[in-house]
Structure 1
């Protein structure tokens, strides 16, 4: 579906559309994190290597001392002994020769032992580092398994547990503590969602009673003008409260987990219906709307939640737009899934303030008209329920770019 709709007097909409890529994690920060994650392993490796080297050095030193102390008792077997017939000078000369030869042999043995010790120490240094690395990996293997399992657990899967088996040691104690923490978090999240849903339901009864009372007061014969005006204002406020309660219910449902009513939903039909519902407001503001969505674009998910997602995107684009402004809606399929983009013009925005818009009851200052609500927070919750995400970017030329990615992996049953 590709069309251009003009509400009111069209203006010159020629512009340069800058497609901003979704900002991914900083590579340098990822490298630093990876380096830090290996600090414990490096410490274990160094510790084990130092222990092995100290032990090896001590063992070689002991062998060197023992060999040095026993070397003086070694007499070459090929030397003939001194006989009794030798004269005293000849015997003394013979003794000096034997002492010199013994000293030379001792020096050679010492040098050979020292060279062998240095080679053995170098070999042991390499072996100790490798062996230390192997032992460090084996010691840290349970911790890495716990880390991977914990990272897979999110707010939508708090019912999962690590369930580490094995002997009762420090690692299992840590895993059991994390499981207890997850159990408390799950109970807290469930209680919060149940409270929001129950409170929203219970508040509808007094609102209905108040609306009925106003209708009865206005329906009387010849009502007072001030009464009618007050009733109109009260009706508008009651509608706002009712709309807010409906948003709470949708938000609680989107945060509850996997949608049970999954089906293939035509994205183009949802956009067309949402634009039709806000056509009056768009005409009043004189907005130019450009839709570039292929007619066969289908996404898997909950029809009710996806309808609310598209409706909130269109409502946000119309409500928070300048008079005579423009809206561009596009969709495309990529490796991560279907990407729905809604762009609007306007004044330059601060990206730090834009990042807060996905939180409930947040808005951008006084320049963005309308009261704060749950619009984009509901969009973020519905996208997360469909394994997707919401990205908000301040356009360099002014205005806002809202991008919603819906994962293709959620195949309806």
Structure 2
């Protein structure tokens, strides 16, 4: 499990950076203007008054000269008062400019970034199911227009790529199954010929059938994985999730008995979700198959299903994991928790189990029937249904798999 991290620092957006930049530039311009004004005003006060350079007053003009000095003193005092008033006014103007510059800069930054926000919202809205949509941003041929056109070109290439993948999956489903069917028929014909069949031929036929079953299972896994990853969920209907779990456990009763496993199940039959029944059935089967096959002989399986309300209150006793908010209706989530026994696993390797063909140590993946696609298919199906898959290595050994899917109301007359 990941170690707890400290509180995340607030993310500084481009709009905040532009706001600070505009405000600082506005303040520096105002400060420079006010400084130049004060310097010019101060320079004007140093001009000498005519007649001050006369060292010796004329006779009879003493009274006039004294009056001139008084006027000069009064003028200097008035000029000093005006300078102080100009300085105070400049400081007040600078404070007012500082108060105005930030909201003004924020408004200007928002106006400049508005096309980018439009592009971001439109890009987030486009997914694998509507790649045919385009941004089609109007306006002059500037940098923003170039960015929008580049994103449109990328979406066009992605649409072509997804379409090619879908065609490949559809063709592979038919082309690869045909030779498998032919090979099985040829084996049956060869074994069913009249006359005694050598024991080596029968053994070889059985082995070939086993290998063909593995190839068929691998092909089916590829097709399910591709379908889930492409999000082709056009058949979303209410599904009784608890019923799927009960049916999957019943179908594997023989395998569970052969491995002498102890199953402790708490299944809530009223848990409903909405999605593709085949894919959800494959999800449940893969999770339970993983618990049966990759368990120690004589081990145990603890299985719990239930619903979690939008406030996080669970109706059954389950292990702690991250839950979904739901499907937007406030119904919360449906959860499946499966715990198995086994050796202590490396959490770093467990976190990568949802990748295709990812396996752990040989004592856990010693079965020759697995292809390493089980949990990767589970992860793809969960993601296609807007859910959450959590894999945790249990401290006492084994694995805990938690699946959370948006819950849905049960249809009328559809008791679990």
Q: TM-score range by the shorter chain?
A: 0.7 to 0.9
Partner of 2:313: none
| Deviation of the 1:144 alpha carbon | 2.9
Is residue 272–residue 408 contact of structure 2 (8 Å, CA) maintained in 1?
no
Name the Cα RMSD after superposition: 2.9
Partner of 2:342: 346
Partner of 2:54: none
Partner of 2:210: 236
Partner of 2:359: 363
Partner of 2:399: 400
* TM value normalised by structure 1: 0.82
Is residue 272–residue 407 contact of structure 2 (8 Å, CA) maintained in 1?
no
Identify which of structures 1 and 2 has the higher relative contact order when contacts are C-alpha pairs closer than 8 Å and 6+ apart.
Answer: 1
| Deviation of the 1:48 alpha carbon | 1.3
Where do residues 5-404 of structure 1 align in structure 2 (5 Å cutoff)? 28=7, 31-32=8-9, 34-36=10-12, 38=13, 40-65=14-39, 67-68=41-42, 87-220=60-193, 221-334=195-308, 335=310, 336=326, 337-368=333-364, 369-370=366-367, 371-404=370-403
| Deviation of the 1:60 alpha carbon | 2.4
> What stretches of structure 1 of length at least 5 have no aligned partner?
1-19, 76-84
Structure with greater helix percent: 1
Is residue 246–residue 267 contact of structure 2 (8 Å, CA) maintained in 1?
no
> What stretches of structure 2 of length at least 5 have no aligned partner?
50-57, 311-325, 327-332, 412-416
Is residue 272–residue 410 contact of structure 2 (8 Å, CA) maintained in 1?
no
Q: Deviations over 1:202-236 (max 9, x none)?
A: 11111111112222222232111111111111110
Compared CA separation, residues 406 and 160, structure 1 to 2 (3 A) = farther
| Deviation of the 1:172 alpha carbon | 2.7
Q: Deviations over 1:313-370 (max 9, x none)?
A: 1111111110011112211112332111111111111121112111111111212122
* Distance (whole Å) between structure 2 residues aligned to residue 171 and residue 265 of structure 1: 45
| Deviation of the 1:286 alpha carbon | 0.2
Compared CA separation, residues 406 and 350, structure 1 to 2 (3 A) = same
Q: Give the SS at the match of 1:356.
A: coil
Is residue 273–residue 408 contact of structure 2 (8 Å, CA) maintained in 1?
no
* TM value normalised by structure 2: 0.82
* Distance (whole Å) between structure 1 residues aligned to residue 85 and residue 120 of structure 2: 51
Compared CA separation, residues 409 and 67, structure 1 to 2 (3 A) = farther
| Deviation of the 1:288 alpha carbon | 0.7
Instruction: Answer with 145-154 or 169-178: which moved more.
Output: 145-154
